[in-house]
Amino acid sequence: MIVPDNIVRSTCPYCGVGCQVDMHIKDDRIYRVTAPFDSAPNYGNLCVKGRFGMDFVNHPRRLRTPLIRKELGGQRQPVGLDGFRPATWEEALDMAASRLAQLVTRRGGDAIGTYASAKATNEDNYVFQKFVRAVLHTNNVDHCSRLCHSGSVTGLQLAIGSSAMSNSIAEMEHLDTFIVTGSNTTETHPVISLSLKAAVRRHGAKLIVVDPRQIEMVDFATLWLRQRPGTDVAVFSAMAHVIVQEGLVNREFLAARTEGFEEYKSTLQEMTPEWAAGVSGVPAEDIRRAARMYAEAQAAAIYWGMGISQSTHGTENALCLANLALMTGQIGRPGTGLNPLRGQNNVQGASDSGALPPFLTTYQRVDDPAARQRFEAAWGVPLSTVPGLTVTEMVDGALAGDIKGMYIMGENPLLTEPYLSHSRHAMAELDFVLFQDIFLNETGEYADVVLPARSFAEKDGTFVNSDRRVQRGRQAVAPVGASRADWDITCDLARRIEQKLGRNRSAGFAYDNAEEIWDEMRSVTPDFGGITYERLEREGGVHWPCPSLEHPGTPYLFADTFPRGKGKFWPVTYGTLSELPDEEYPFVLSTGRVLYHWHGGTLSRHSVLDQIYPEAVVEIHPDDARSLAIATGDWLEVVSRRGHITARALVTARSPEGVIFIPFHFAEAAANELTQNTIDPRAKIPDFKLCAVRIARAEIPADRNASPIPLTDRGAIKDPLSVR
């Protein structure tokens, strides 16, 4: 029996649920992870990633020292670890500072694009965006939330003026009626799914699932609307049509809290359930039943994920959901509301910390003089007033020659961007690439200088989970090699560049610890004003907004008013899909995640999790498989207009006929080789959930080994609909 040297309370590094974990440490290793039973949001529960997937921290391939590319200059090619030489921090940081300072001098800061990180702490992200804004003098700072929830953010900002989840996770178990749409909750937010399952099984809540895939939540649903991919707007608009037609609108709420309803109502005339049934394949009667269940409920909430936002009409999808909540008054009370389930463990926090092109901390706009002046006063430097480029625009900017350098902290865009060959071409065009992470991933292979960062278990800081709860991350083990905390690296780089640019006054990059950074954030961010490290120590977590030390925090939002004043209805039109299947590319491809892996795979593929799910699969419907003579385990080549990959088939009725599904975690068969970079015009989010592909039987690629144990025998595929 092992007696732990130490048990350290921290926040799980995987998803946006933000589970509290107790890491049991012996000889500087995490050997066991448990969860406190008395703490929100997880009350003792974890999923496989949090419970067992922390061993990436000590993986032998962790970056231990700064690296510099051996062959600098010339056409940029991706290289592995042997393409780099070890360097001292002094040499690596000085080279990075010189090259970035040169770019600022010659072309201006707007020629540099930067990726902050939804995996790094609030403190890391705050320092990062401060560096970009105050030293590089550009607002070109963004992160992967662009690729996940920008559709939801844009839609909710338009409708109510705030994009955070309106309800706390703790409320979920006591729901009355709720909709889950575009979220495979049991795999992507496993611990939240436990509360949703309990709401149904223990408290008799009614669940409506709106999703093309027969996900596990369907087993708990009263009603399942299986729409064709990309037809969400039709289904939700028809629900709104029914609510109007049958007089189920909440007149009182409409009058007191909203505007623009009459104009919106007139656009619903043609959007009948029968019309929607033709477009989406959902029976008209089911749309009617869903509309009544939602509108007539005592309290009804909506939960959604990437299926809503990752679309060329992601903003419209989110607006549809907001319209439903506003017309029925299902918002502003416990158990009601609009809840985008955030992906990364700190995607909410990275956004809140100002790592977005138009926003300083907690959505204070760079083009709002009052907000900007608060930061200019605090930092002592003038700031750019022009909102910067988004990640998708930075890639295009690199190809156009406008972006010449990139600084990437803790992200892997060359696995998570759509249309990867396009992104790789962009990366190859750059003059200088600075990369900072805990492993050398697909993106790092393009770097000139690689800086080794500390993992979540080796540093202090704060994270913000999906329901706006600010929680502590705490150092549990000694840092690996010469690695340094992200904020510490960025500060050092910032000071060097300020010196090279001859700035006579620093914007302030001399912090002794993470708490000092947090206290500076609080001083410029009224919404964080009442949240101190001392308070987090005592209370475990505090939901922002929390303006003062006496304020209890805000578990649910919009009780009396919306941030934009009145909730606004926005007419939504049903547009054409971004790429339709045709004779040459007859299948629709949808991408997503699985329980055992995490996004770009930088963490999970370096952990024991990769043992149970070591390869990509192509989910294909039994009828399609039969007509193509495909069986589970067969190698398939999947081809789109943009690229091709090879992976093995999993025959399952989970996705409908004509639709295949591929998880995007696997670099050797990267689903994003196939996806398209067509974007939502307002949110700039690409359409990851829909593109046209063709499929053919293939041989195993020469550079891959067939795993001796088929994926279906490893225990990861719990799919009763699959055909072995």
C-alpha 21/C-alpha 471 separation (Å) is 11
Residue (197 or 496) nearer to another protein, CB: 197
Binding mask 132-171 vs another protein (x if CB under 8 A, - otherwise)? ----------------------------------------
CB of 196 to another protein, least distance (A): 10
Residue (274 or 713) nearer to another protein, CB: 713
3-state secondary structure of 155: helix
Residue (584 or 713) nearer to another protein, CB: 713
Residue that the structure tokens 């448990």 belong to: 34
CB 697 within 8 A of CB 631: no
Residue 603 Cα distances to 323, 607, 694, angstroms: 38, 7, 31
C-alpha closest to that of 331 among 526, 566, 173: 566
> Can you tell me which of 2, 370, 377, 510 binds another protein, judged by CB under 8 A?
2
Cα-Cα-Cα-Cα dihedral sign, residues 371, 374, 378, 383: positive
Interactions with another protein, residue window 191-250 (CB under 8 A):
194, 197, 201-202
Residue (681 or 720) nearer to another protein, CB: 720
Residue (43 or 304) nearer to another protein, CB: 43
Residue that the structure tokens 């800086």 belong to: 451
CB of 606 to another protein, least distance (A): 11
Interactions with another protein, residue window 599-658 (CB under 8 A):
608, 611-612
> Can you tell me which of 73, 74, 247, 708 binds another protein, judged by CB under 8 A?
708
CB of 20 to another protein, least distance (A): 12
CB 311 within 8 A of CB 679: no
Rg (C-alpha) for the chain, rounded Å, is 25
CB of 355 to another protein, least distance (A): 31
3-state SS string for 681-708: CCCCCECCCCEEEEEEECCCCCCCCCCC
Q: Is 714 in the site for another protein (CB under 8 A)?
A: yes
C-alpha 169/C-alpha 680 separation (Å) is 29
The tokens for 492 are 């050092």
Residue (697 or 718) nearer to another protein, CB: 718
Contact stretch for another protein (CB under 8 A) within 70-78, 250-258, 627-635, 713-721:
713-721
Q: Provide the β-strand partners of residue 339.
A: 303
CB of 704 to another protein, least distance (A): 17
Binding mask 581-600 vs another protein (x if CB under 8 A, - otherwise)? --------------x-----
Q: Is 499 in the site for another protein (CB under 8 A)?
A: no
Residue (130 or 606) nearer to another protein, CB: 606
Neighbours of 57 (CB within 10 A): 23
Which letter, b or e, does each residue of 519-558 get, where b requires 16 or more Cβ atoms within 10 Å of its Cβ?
Answer: ebbbebbbbbbbbbbebbeeebbbbbbbbeeeeebbbbbb
CB of 51 to another protein, least distance (A): 4
CB of 279 to another protein, least distance (A): 34
Distance of CA 559 to the CA centre of its chain: 27
CB 59 within 8 A of CB 607: yes
Interactions with another protein, residue window 257-296 (CB under 8 A):
none
CB of 1 to another protein, least distance (A): 5
List strand residue ranges (DSSP E) for 367-494, in order: 405-409, 432-437, 449-452, 461-464, 469-473
CB 130 within 8 A of CB 507: yes
Interactions with another protein, residue window 9-68 (CB under 8 A):
26, 29, 31-35, 37-38, 43-48, 51-52, 55, 58, 60
Helices (H), 311-390: 314-328, 347-352, 369-379
Residue (439 or 574) nearer to another protein, CB: 439
Interactions with another protein, residue window 345-374 (CB under 8 A):
none
CB of 611 to another protein, least distance (A): 4
Contact stretch for another protein (CB under 8 A) within 88-96, 520-528, 616-624, 705-713:
705-713
Residue (220 or 363) nearer to another protein, CB: 220
Binding mask 458-477 vs another protein (x if CB under 8 A, - otherwise)? --------------------
Total of residues contacting another protein (CB under 8 A):
37
CB 343 within 8 A of CB 466: no
Q: Which DSSP category does 481 fall into?
A: T
The tokens for 42 are 């997880």
Q: Provide the β-strand partners of residue 450.
A: 67, 435
CB of 340 to another protein, least distance (A): 24
C-alpha 412/C-alpha 119 separation (Å) is 11
> Can you tell me which of 88, 269, 713, 724 binds another protein, judged by CB under 8 A?
713
CB of 698 to another protein, least distance (A): 25
Residue (26 or 251) nearer to another protein, CB: 26
Residue (14 or 487) nearer to another protein, CB: 14
Q: Is 190 in the site for another protein (CB under 8 A)?
A: yes
Q: Which DSSP category does 518 fall into?
A: H
CB of 60 to another protein, least distance (A): 7
CB of 329 to another protein, least distance (A): 27
Residue (162 or 184) nearer to another protein, CB: 184
Residue (43 or 261) nearer to another protein, CB: 43
C-alpha 632/C-alpha 634 separation (Å) is 6
Contact stretch for another protein (CB under 8 A) within 310-318, 381-389, 533-541, 706-714:
706-714
Tell me the backbone φ, ψ of residue 452, rounded to 5 degrees. -80, 120
Q: Which DSSP category does 65 fall into?
A: S
Q: Which DSSP category does 146 fall into?
A: H
3-state secondary structure of 648: strand
The tokens for 162 are 């705030």
CB of 202 to another protein, least distance (A): 7
Residue (54 or 111) nearer to another protein, CB: 54
Residue (338 or 595) nearer to another protein, CB: 595
Our CA dihedral for 587, 590, 595, 597, rounded to 10 degrees, sits at 100
Q: Is 425 in the site for another protein (CB under 8 A)?
A: no
CB of 45 to another protein, least distance (A): 6
Residue (106 or 202) nearer to another protein, CB: 202
Helices (H), 439-513: 486-500
Residue 155 Cα distances to 150, 230, 364, 572, 684, angstroms: 8, 17, 17, 11, 12
CB of 186 to another protein, least distance (A): 8
Residue (570 or 598) nearer to another protein, CB: 598
Q: Where does this chain bind another protein (CB under 8 A)?
A: 1-2, 26, 29, 31-35, 37-38, 43-48, 51-52, 55, 58, 60, 190, 194, 197, 201-202, 595, 608, 611-612, 708-709, 713-715, 718
